[in-house]
Amino acid sequence: MSKIDEVFSAVETGKAKIIAELVQSAIDAGEDPMEILNRGMVSAMSVIGERFSRGEAFVPEMLISARTMKKGVEVLKPYLAKDAVNSLGTAIIGTVQGDMHDIGKNLVAMMIESAGFEVVDLEVDVPLEQFVEAIAAHPNVRIVALSTLLTTTMPAMKQIVAGLNALENRDSFRIMVGGAPITEEFARQIGADGYSPDAAAAAALAKSLAS
């Protein structure tokens, strides 16, 4: 079994106690950190999600795999996020109201930070009011980034973007959206400035929107 397969298997089966050691050993063996993330961890989460859809796995399994992945990402973080001088301004990020999923949002936050933004992470289940307060509290906000994984919270994303679009200082920041059910077309329909399908593309998009 390859090192990446071992990581995959540990995330799939929720082996949180050994994941840090396995990820470190894959890095030490020269595996590409992005491959460890995508082939080892993200794809294992997809398998769990498919099982959940078929009624073969349940919330506790999703939860222990998520915990395992989070521990693995902690080890990968310094290899994925290169040191950057925070000079591109502030990016506010959060998972929208009603949605508790945070792994993808955390990866996007990490990549945006490594692209040179100071990141203010509002975490999960974030209503419009909290985004508005954060924008008011940070003078140099250039990006507001919204994540959602649930189709049921896409209307909340739409409502938050509408509220942000109505702010007086709307010209001073750009809104970007993403998450599994989100598409370019949905982003355009709700009035966001940009959409990206994954964390690496999100960092590139944030830079181009802020420039």
- List residues binding ligand B1M (CB under 6 A): 42, 45-46, 48-49, 52-53, 59, 62-63, 66, 98-105, 107-108, 145-147, 149-152, 176-181, 196, 198-199, 202
CA distance 72 to 15: 10
CB of 169 to ligand B1M, least distance (A): 20
Query: Which residue's CB is nearer to ligand B1M, number 125 or number 167?
Result: 125
Query: Which residue's CB is nearer to ligand B1M, number 33 or number 104?
Result: 104
Please count the residues of the chain.
211
The identity of residue 20, as a single letter, is A
CB of 106 to ligand B1M, least distance (A): 8
What is the DSSP track for 135-175? HHH-TTEEEEEEE---GGGHHHHHHHHHHHHTSTTGGG-EE
Query: Which residue's CB is nearer to ligand B1M, number 28 or number 91?
Result: 91
Q: 90-95 and 174-178 as β-strands: parallel, antiparallel, unpaired?
A: unpaired
Widest CA span in the chain: 56
CB of 170 to ligand B1M, least distance (A): 17
CB of 166 to ligand B1M, least distance (A): 20
Residue 154 Cα to chain centre, angstroms: 16
Query: Which residue's CB is nearer to ligand B1M, number 28 or number 121?
Result: 121
